[in-house]
A and B are shown apart, each in its own frame.
Chain A
C-alpha cells in the first residue's frame, strides 16, 4: 500500500510541477507557444531518461532505501527551488538566446533533473513490487495506472485550486516537503513484494 501511495504522489508531483513550470517561465520568457513546447518536451525528455535509467539501476541490488534516495533528491531540489530559479531565469534572459532557445535552455536547467528522478520511480518501484512473472503484468499495470492517475489529480488540483491559494514558490517547496515525507518511510522499512 505504501508504495502505491508513493507512486501516486510522484505522478501527481510531476504534472503539478509542469503546470507551475509555465508560471515560473512566463515572467522572463512569456507564454508563447515556444514556452509551452520547451516545457512539455523537457519534462518528457526527463521522464524518458528517468524510465531508462531507472530500469538499469533497478537491476543492480534494488532496495527501498535507494528508492527513497531517488525520491528525496527531487524533494531537496524543490525545497531549494526558489533559491536558484530566479537567478537562473534572469541569467538566461540576459544571455538572450532567442525566443525559442531561451525558454528551452531555462526549462532544461530548471526542470530536467527533477523529472529524471521522478521518471526513475516508475520502473524502480515495478522492480521492487514484482513477485513473480505470473503477476508482473498486473503489478506493472497497477503502478502505471496509479502514476498517471496521480498526474491527473496533480494537474487538476494545481490548476484549479492550489494556484489560487498560494504562491508558485511556496507550492514548489510544498511539493519538496511532500516528496521528502513520502520518501522517509522507505529508509526504515524493507519493501518487498509481500508488503
Chain B
C-alpha cells in the first residue's frame, strides 16, 4: 500500500514543472525545483530586466532593472512603502514575511540606515537566488530566517514597527498566512502604532479578495486599501491605533517622507489612491480561519459582491 505515499508525492512533484515557454528576448539564468516550488530566474535582454518566477509567467515574485538594481521594478513593491506614511516616526524594527527577490528590504534598508530588518523566508533556494541574481545581501542589521513565516511570527519575542506580509507561491498565499488567527498573532507582534502591510493579488475581483478584506477588517480596526494601476495588486494597510489615518494626513506624510528619504518612486501619488476598506467590504464574504480557509478555490471564484 505504498501507493498512498506515491500518490501524495506525485501531488507534490507534479506541480513543480515549467508551464510556459520563454520569449525570444528572454534568457534563462537559473532554474530549480526547490523543496517548495519551481524557481526560475530569467533576464529580458531587450527590456534589461531580471525576474524571479514560479510556474506561471504572469505572476512574478520579484525582479530588478539590470542597470539600476536599486530601483523598484514592480508596482506592488513600490506601493507597499505607502505604509510608512501611516507612522508618525521612522520605523526601526521591521519584519518581512516572504523574501521574493529581496528588492523591498534592500530598498528600505538603503533609505533607513538605522533600521533593523528580519526577513522570514521558508525556501533556502529563494534566498540563494536573491543573493546570486538580485544583489541581495544579508548584514548585521538585515537577517533572513529560513523558516515558515507563521512559525517565525509565533516564535519571535520581538515587536515590530512595521510588518510586511508578502509570502506567495505562484499566485496564491499559503492558507495559514491568510487566517484570522495568523493576523492576530501578527498584531500581537506590533509595537504601539505599528503598521501591517499586505500585498493581495486579485486580477479580477474574486472571493478570496472579499474574504481577505473581511478577515483583515476583523483583526484590525483600521484597514485602508490601495489599488494598483498597472497590476492586479491591492495593498492592504492595517493598523491597531495608528496616529495617522485620514487621507489628508497620509498624503501629507507621504510627501514629507518622499523628500526626506529621497524616494525615487511617487509615494504621494500612491497615497492619493487611499480608499477606506468600506468600499470593498462585503458582508457575504467569509472570514478565513485556521479551520476554514479555501484559499485556492476562492481565488478562482468571482466575488459575490455587486
A36, A93, A99, A170: which contacts B154 (Cβ < 8 A)? A93
B291 touches A167 (CB 8 A): yes
B150 touches A30 (CB 8 A): yes
Chain B residue at minimal CB-CB distance from A148: B3
A28 interface residue (CB < 8 Å to B): yes
CA distance A59 to B302 in the complex (A): 56
> A112 to chain B: closest CB distance in Å?
15
| In the complex with contacts A96-B155, A164-B294, A169-B291, A30-B7 CB distance below 8 A | no
B7 touches A23 (CB 8 A): no
CA distance A32 to B175 in the complex (A): 13
Number of interface residues of A (CB under 8 A): 36
Q: Which of A39-47, A65-73, A128-136, A175-183 contacts B (4 or more CB under 8 A)?
A: A39-47
Residues of A within 8 A of B297 (CB): 164
B4 touches A148 (CB 8 A): yes
A121-159 to B contact mask, C-beta < 8 Å, 1/0: 010000000000000000000001001100110010000
> B7 to chain A: closest CB distance in Å?
6
B148 interface residue (CB < 8 Å to A): yes
B32-54 to A contact mask, C-beta < 8 Å, 1/0: 00011000000000000000000
B7 touches A32 (CB 8 A): no
A1 interface residue (CB < 8 Å to B): no
Chain B residue at minimal CB-CB distance from A151: B4
Interface residues of A in 1-42 (CB under 8 A from B): 14-15, 18, 23, 26-33, 36, 40
Residues of B within 8 A of A32 (CB): 35, 122, 147-148, 151
A26 touches B176 (CB 8 A): yes
Q: Is the interface of B mostly helix, strand, loop or mixed?
A: helix
A15, A23, A29, A167: which contacts B4 (Cβ < 8 A)? A15
A166 interface residue (CB < 8 Å to B): yes
| In the complex with contacts A164-B294, A166-B292, A167-B289, A29-B5 CB distance below 8 A | no
Q: Is the interface of A mostly helix, strand, loop or mixed?
A: helix
Residues of A within 8 A of B122 (CB): 30-32
B1, B7, B182, B292: which contacts A152 (Cβ < 8 A)? B7
A163 interface residue (CB < 8 Å to B): yes
Number of interface residues of B (CB under 8 A): 32
Residues of B within 8 A of A152 (CB): 7
B181 interface residue (CB < 8 Å to A): yes
A26, A47, A96, A170: which contacts B1 (Cβ < 8 A)? A47
CA distance A91 to B123 in the complex (A): 27
B144-165 to A contact mask, C-beta < 8 Å, 1/0: 0001111100110000000000
Residues of B within 8 A of A108 (CB): none
| In the complex with contacts A43-B4, A44-B5, A151-B3, A167-B151 CB distance below 8 A | no
CA distance A34 to B176 in the complex (A): 16
In the complex, 26 of the A-B residue pairs with CB atoms within 8 angstroms, ordered by the A residue number, are A15-B4, A15-B7, A23-B175, A23-B290, A26-B150, A26-B175, A26-B290, A27-B179, A27-B181, A28-B154, A30-B122, A30-B151, A32-B147, A32-B148, A32-B151, A122-B1, A144-B1, A147-B1, A148-B1, A151-B3, A155-B11, A164-B298, A165-B294, A167-B292, A168-B290, A168-B292
Counting from the closest, the 10 A-B pairs by CB-CB distance are: A30-B148, A167-B291, A164-B294, A26-B176, A167-B292, A164-B297, A27-B290, A30-B151, A33-B35, A32-B148
